[in-house]
A and B are shown apart, each in its own frame.
Chain A
Amino acid sequence: MAEPMGFFTDTTVCIGCKACEIACKQWNQLPATNGGQNTISGVSYDNTRQLDGIHWRHVRFIEQFDTRDPNRTDGRWLLMSDVCKHCVQAGCLEVCPTGAIVRTEFDTVVIQSDVCNGCRACISACPFGVIGINPVSHTAQKCTLCYDRLKVGMEPACSKACPTDSIQFGTISQLRDRAQKRVGDLHQQGQTEAYLYGADDKIVGGLNSFFLLMDKPEVYGLPKDPQLPSRNLAPSGIGSGIGAVLVGLLGLLNFRKRRMDRFAAQGHRES
């Protein structure tokens, strides 16, 4: 296996230009809209709104302004280019019933579009809401970390296009070192709220695309404590097993050989 590869996204230098979104769409030939007109979100300057089958990168705009203050003096923009986290323990991969979702030699998570049959289990399994159905292929799709480009030694389209190096591509160990250093620098400059999300193994075994954030994860649309869907496997298996035993016992008690006609008069007077 090659060394694990991934993204380090430093949200502090993102300028919201969306070059990564466009580069991703171009390289992966993703349609601009879902067959229809462009719509605007109406609540934000961000009209992409979410990651899904035709948006494998999404630059999230977080507009922290007090709308009751007419001068909007106190406020800030948080910008973050979101993407599949290429989880070390991936919920999507766990539940995929066709084997379409695989872990590659780069330790990334890829959906093979020619295998996927569009059952959508992965969509409800991903703790980050990354996957969607692509309306052209009718299969589940998401970022592949440009598997085809990695294969030939190129870097992914988004990080290549990013003009501020907010998105950095590299080996995980290299990126983690760089990210630690960046957090240290920011803390020294007084930006003590800076921290890394997913750069260790605490979040689903580690995120191979991890982030430097300046506010709580929820503010960026990221769950504080993402979990794997398999956490419910045993609890719900046990529940169903208890159900089967109880219903089996009830069947045994109610259906075992009875003396005929004893209860017949009690109300079933039909026929």
Chain B
Amino acid sequence: MPRELFTSPAHWTWLIVVYFFVGGIAGGSFFIAAMLDLVGNRADRSLSRLGYLVALPGIAIGGPLLILDLGRKERFWHMLVQSETFRPMFKWWSPISFGTWIVSAFGAFAFVAFLAALVRSGDRPQRGPLVPFHKIVYGLGPLSKLFLILGALTGLALAGYTGMLLSVTNRPVWANMNLFGINLLGLLFLASAVSAAAATLYLLGRRRGAGVEHESLHALTRFDDWVLGLELLVLIAAIVSLASFFGSVSAAWLAGWGALLIIGVLVLGILVPLVLYARPRMLGGNSGVLAAILVLVGSFLLRTVVVMSSETIESLERVAHGG
């Protein structure tokens, strides 16, 4: 029996699944928006603006979910400040510890960029409370660039650290996803989060009235295509990496979670959107919308399968072994 089957489940369930999903979209949206502002066209501003408008609500929903999941919610600050000494609490080798700081830092970046984005693109506000924020994001030359680069990196960290959090445990599936000395979970979550963020921005950006250029949307779907391709490769590698682990679990476990992973995530969440993006005329004008919705569903299912298959493994295995 693999060593991971001797451990106990943490009971990280739906709150955590939803947090992974929403937090990933928030981080990915900021990353895409900052990339557009850093290297894109001036006309991409209306799309990047949407990215910042998604990032803050995303983390504002996700962060509290993490607190709700605690056994003692009123002590959430013990992760930031040591409750006895009031010194900062930070352990670089504990994913929840550095994750807490990533979430906090990202909250700050997202807050500033959100307020800047409230200023309609193209406007140059002369006065008003939002001016300083607009200035930080767009008006300080190299310092604004630095702000965007750091924010984008924090966004990617937010999207990927959740996978690290699961892998740095002793739990089945999470701690087993290693291939060639690399654990794939952070990489997988990161790709899936960025692709889900692109899908979200696509859905928001194509609405009439969003004022987003076709050209920006096209770049976005092309980007999502590539990221989906990356995610596909990583997912296949992840399944290969779990092969020896699969050998030791029951057919019931495989039939349930394994099937959801293949059909829900790999086929519906990645392959079908790839085809739809590649052939935008297949379903009239709506292939892009369907593709984006499927990407979001796939991204949510991926987190569901990864988290819940490990959390529920004991009960399924107990049934399988007649225990």
Contact = CB atoms under 8 A, between A and B. Distances in A.
A257 B41 contact: yes
A227 interface: yes
A260 interface: yes
A223 interface: yes
Interface in A237-266: 237-240, 242-244, 246-248, 250-258, 260-264, 266
B281 to A, nearest CB: 6
A235 B181 contact: yes
Contacts of A239: 163, 182-187
Most-contacted residue by chain A among B72, B83, B96, B280 (CB, 10 A): B72
Interface string A28-62: 00000000000000010000001010000000000
B194 A117 contact: no
A115 B7 contact: no
Given A97-B89, A244-B190, A256-B39, A236 B183 contact: yes
A266 B218 contact: yes
B161 interface: yes
B8 A126 contact: yes
Given A139-B72, A227-B170, A267 B10 contact: no
Given A121-B94, A229-B170, A131 B8 contact: yes
Instruction: Assign chain B's interface to a size class.
Output: 35 or more
B200 interface: no
Interface in B14-66: 31-32, 35-36, 39-41, 43-44
Interface in A88-136: 91, 94-100, 114-121, 123-133
B145 interface: no
B6 A128 contact: yes
Contact of A255 (B9, B36, B164): B36
Given A225-B3, A236-B163, A264-B218, A97 B72 contact: no
Contacts of B185: 236, 239
B96 A115 contact: no
A230 interface: yes
Interface in A175-229: 218, 221-227, 229
B170 A126 contact: yes
Contacts of B213: 260, 264
B226 A266 contact: no
Given A116-B72, A229-B169, A264 B215 contact: yes
Nearest to B224: A254
Contact of A232 (B41, B183, B215): B183
Interface stretch (B73-81, B125-133, B258-266): B73-81
Contacts of B78: 98-100, 115-117
Interface centre among B71, B160, B168, B190 (most CB of A within 10 A): B168
Contacts of A248: 35, 152, 156
B143 interface: no
A233 interface: yes
A99 B88 CA distance: 11
A271 interface: yes
Name the prevailing secondary structure of the B interface residues.
Answer: helix
Contacts of B221: 268
A269 interface: yes
B232 to A, nearest CB: 13
Contacts of A133: 11, 71
Contacts of A95: 94-96, 168-169
A124 B8 CA distance: 6
Given A115-B84, A229-B168, A244 B153 contact: yes
Interface in B115-164: 152-153, 156-157, 160-161, 163-164
A218 B94 CA distance: 29
A268 to B, nearest CB: 4
Given A127-B6, A247-B31, A262-B215, A254 B95 contact: no
A183 to B, nearest CB: 24
Interface of A: 43, 50, 52, 91, 94-100, 114-121, 123-133, 138-140, 218, 221-227, 229-230, 232-233, 235-240, 242-244, 246-248, 250-258, 260-264, 266-271
Interface of B: 1, 3, 6-12, 31-32, 35-36, 39-41, 43-44, 69-73, 75-76, 78-79, 82-84, 89, 91, 93-97, 99-100, 152-153, 156-157, 160-161, 163-165, 167-171, 174-175, 178, 181-188, 190-191, 194, 206-208, 213-215, 217-219, 221-223, 226-227, 230, 234, 280-281, 285, 287-288, 322-323
Given A260-B213, A264-B215, 16 more contacts: A94-B93, A95-B168, A97-B79, A98-B78, A117-B79, A124-B10, A127-B3, A131-B8, A223-B3, A229-B170, A232-B167, A242-B182, A243-B234, A244-B157, A247-B230, A263-B214
19 contacts: A94-B93, A98-B75, A99-B91, A119-B70, A121-B94, A123-B10, A126-B8, A130-B8, A138-B72, A232-B183, A242-B187, A247-B156, A252-B35, A254-B223, A255-B219, A260-B41, A268-B214, A268-B218, A268-B288
